[in-house]
Chain A
Amino acid sequence: MAPFLRMQGITKRFPGVVANRDVDLEVDRGEIRGLLGENGAGKSTLVKILYGLFHPDEGTIEIDGKPVRIRSPRHAVDLGIGMVHQHFMLVPTMTVAENVALGLRENHSPFSRLPAVARRVRELSQRYGLDVDPDDLVEDLSVGLQQRVEILKLLYRGAELLVLDEPTAVLTPQEWHELAQTLRDLADHGKAVIFISHKLDEQLEASDWCTVLRDGAVVGTVHTDDVDKADLARMMVGRDVVLRVARESLPPGEPVIEVSSLRLESKDGRTVLDDVSFEIREREILGVAGIDGNGQRELVEVIAGVHQPSSGTIRVCGRDEPRLTPQRFHRHGGAIIPEDRHRTGVALDLTITDNLMLKDFRRLPFARRGITAVSPIREHCEHLVAEFDVRTPGTSVIMRQLSGGNQQRSVVARELCGEPTLLIAAQPTRGLDVGAMEFVYDRLLDHRKRGGATLLVSTELDEILSLSDRIAVIVGGRFVRILDPDDADDETLGLLMGGAEIAPG
């Protein structure tokens, strides 16, 4: 019998790049297929072709043995192909059932049939062990549950093949295990799954087969039982990747930032940061571990001067900063890699050059008396693109045309250049492939060695454990514990992040 999906000889060109080159991919029912590859290798492009967002320049697609030309996402859905977007497409103020009913085509007024929709949602939820209540409001659900609602939407529309492009960036480890289980259940019920993730552990845990892409072409397809992380990394990057970093011990210097009793209330009066105190010295990395949404973003924004704290003091480089602004933060030599690159990191419609200059556009030699200097800027940007290995046909390309990981690389390049004194790195490796991740770790350690202070905010415990000099665990806007990395491991951190009370020592 023919496999459910067969893509043959798929080639897709963009101006200056071949995103997919003669790619063959077969995915059968009951199978979870991992897609792996460096940033810009063409994974997203391949699944967008499958979902009707791009049309291949060459090649054929067969569904259940029948050749098809996928015209649009609508058409893809009709063919039984569903995609879970990284940014959820849900209306928070509506119930699960209403969200599922939204956009259904079969009836003019989907809401008149809500009870029927709810019944079917409950049924599907039970069959696949999704544990979603159709009457819950979406805004009350955790990120992991919202993702399941997305999956339910696809199942409701009769998806036979589910595509997930980097679905795990925002999940907690617990949520990830549940997602892996869900994917397995789906496969056991005869669905096909395509799963894109840079995290090799996840690929090994969830996928049956893993197809590795490099420069748009398939390097090979391996069974995940036969390989380990190092093998996958080598296939992807073409060389050995050192996944653990060597952090030499350095004597800390002067305090760069001292924060005491920081408190922040949101507009609606909730306490988002509560009595946060810490200091970071030269040559120190303070890791902040926590589940997404426990006040990390607010902490970062207060220190970067975007919000004024409700109370508490901040001292930067030994000077009291009663009203810290982004301008002052920059003047002190601050740099920030924001957690949500699309919101506050890049302007998708501007060129790479414009995006790379955001931090430095005011200063010599890039500007003189308010007039920008074209050639120093060009040289600087070309240098950054080369050094940070941003895969792009040129610096005048629009940011939107870069792959997700390459957008992240540009942000990292911009913020790490020019030797900042204080670096806030929030999820600095989100969306990066292992090679780039290794590179960023090295650069963070270089920064530390040079005497810079770093506030590293991450949901990746590995990252926190291997880079930090001290680890703060944040729960509900409070630092529940600051500990030494030698006293910490995955498990204690996980428990602390989950809100467990553990006696120190």
Chain B
Amino acid sequence: MSNRFKRAIASLGVSVFALVLALGFSMLIVALTGNDAGEAARAMWDGAFGNRAQIAGTLSKMIPLLLVALGWIVAYRAKRVNIGFEGQILAGGICATAMGLHFAGMPILIHLPLAVLAGVAGGAMWAGIAAWLWARRGVNEIISTLLLNFIAIEIVSWLVRGPLQESTKTFPRSGPIAESARWPSLLDKTSLSWDFVLAIVMVFVVAFVLNRTTFGYRLRFTGANEPAARHAGIATKTVTAIALIVSGALAGLAGELVDPRRRVHEHVRQLLGQLRLRGHRGRLVGPEQPDRVHPLGAALRLPASRRRPHGGPCRGAVGRRPHHPGTRHRLRRGSNVPARPPRE
């Protein structure tokens, strides 16, 4: 017991250290550009925690990141590195959106769960491709999940200009999702909705599954010593494939929640840029031993990593401000996708 406690403290220490280091460096860079680091820090704080709405906004942005971090943990327990969250989020987002656009008029108690399940299924399916390739063909999951990202990105690009495009055909984005497929607001006059509760519940569900179920045990042993687990009669391939699929399902769930405007459009990608940042940091922060990456630890770590002033470019990116698809589009494109001439 005290051993576990010590490990938890150590893991928390690492998180805090990483946070302090990241903040320190940001402030250093602000100072190097000749600006007032103190003021920047204050603005950051105000932006993230300044008032009720901003705290709520920070929390609501935390949600998809939290789910993706859970996905990382599940896959990494089996020593598999899933770097395809981006694709899985998009796959989940596509399915959830498709579900949300149709069947309008259904009661929310049916429509919303259906949309959520569609998101989960989309992410699971996308990761399932990689899992299948790994189990059957021995394809390295790092490569396959990465490459599946690009495929998902292209599919989204096509969908928002084709089958899923809004009826006015103005922007490359989908129409608004039916009211009955949206999460009801949790806090009045803020962006925080009930999906926040779902995400927190998921932390406990994942923690429970990993630590208190025989599946979690199989997963743990498979990750820690695959040959030993196999000799003891654990179906390690199946277990690992399931871990990858669950990991994708969690990302798909994040995809369902990712866009506050409930539309799949290309802005999703800007958000994904931040997700990728988080992904790297997740690896940096996560201790090398998979059994030590604790879901509750992830929950503690995540909100902090999201502190940034609202109202900056970041917020616009989530879809508040009108925008010029052409210019923004190109800007974003440069960061993560092979260059391509703008279509407009």
Q: Which residues does B use to contact A, with CB under 8 Å?
A: 1, 3-4, 212-217, 220-221, 224-225, 227-233, 235, 289, 291
Asked if A137 lies at the interface with its beta carbon under 8 angstroms from chain B, I say no
Is B214 a contact of A354 with CB atoms below 8 Å? no
Q: Does A101 contact B (CB under 8 A)?
A: no
CA distance A354 to B214 in the complex (A): 11
Rounded to whole angstroms, the CA-CA distance of A345 and B224 in the bound complex is 12
Are A370's CB and B213's CB within 8 A?
A: yes
What per-residue 1/0 map shows which CB atoms of A193-228 lie under 8 Å from chain B? 000000000000000000000000000000000000
Q: Are A350 and B221 in contact (CB under 8 A)?
A: yes
Cβ-defined contact, B4 with A396, below 8 A? yes
- The residues of A that contact B217 with a CB separation of less than 8 Å are 354, 357, 361, 372
A338-361, CB under 8 A of B: which get 1 and which 0?
A: 100001111111100010011101
For A327, list chain B residues within 8 Å (CB): 233, 235
**Pick from A15, A336, A371, A397: contact of B231, CB under 8 Å:** A336
CB-defined contacts of B220 to chain A, threshold 8 Å: 350, 354
Number of A residues with CB within 8 Å of any CB on chain B: 34
* Chain A residue at minimal CB-CB distance from B4: A396
Question: Would you give the 0/1 interface string for A356-396, flagging 1 where the beta carbon is closer than 8 Å to chain B?
Answer: 01110110000100111010000000000000000000101
- Interface 0/1 of A297-335, CB less than 8 Å to B: 000010011100000000000000000011101100000
Residues of A within 8 A of B233 (CB): 305, 325-327, 329-330
Residues of A within 8 A of B228 (CB): 338, 343-347, 358
A346 close to B232 (CB less than 8 A): no
Q: Considering only CB atoms, which chain B residue lies closest to A359 in the complex?
A: B232
- A371 to B217, alpha carbons, bound, how many Å? 10
- Determine if B3 and A396 form an interchain contact, defined as CB atoms under 8 angstroms apart: yes
> What's the Cα separation between A348 and B289 when bound, in Å?
11
C-alpha spacing A367/B227, complex, angstroms: 23
The list of the 5 closest CB pairs from A to B, nearest first, reads A347-B224, A347-B225, A326-B233, A327-B233, A396-B3
Q: Which residues of A contact B213 (CB under 8 A)?
A: 370-372
What are 9 sample pairs from A and B whose C-beta atoms fall under 8 A apart?
Answer: A301-B231, A304-B231, A305-B233, A330-B232, A338-B228, A344-B227, A344-B228, A354-B224, A372-B212
Min CB–CB distance B154 → chain A (angstroms)? 39
- CB contacts (< 8 Å) of A367 on chain B: these are 214
Tell me, in angstroms, the Cα distance from A396 to B213 when the chains sit together.
Answer: 17
A370–B221 touching, CB < 8 Å: no
A394 and B3 in contact, given A327-B233, A371-B213 (Cβ under 8 angstroms): yes
What chain B residues lie within 8 Å of A347 (beta carbons)?
A: 221, 224-225, 228-229
Chain B residues in 8 Å Cβ range of A372 = 212-214, 216-217
Q: For A343, list chain B residues within 8 Å (CB).
A: 227-228
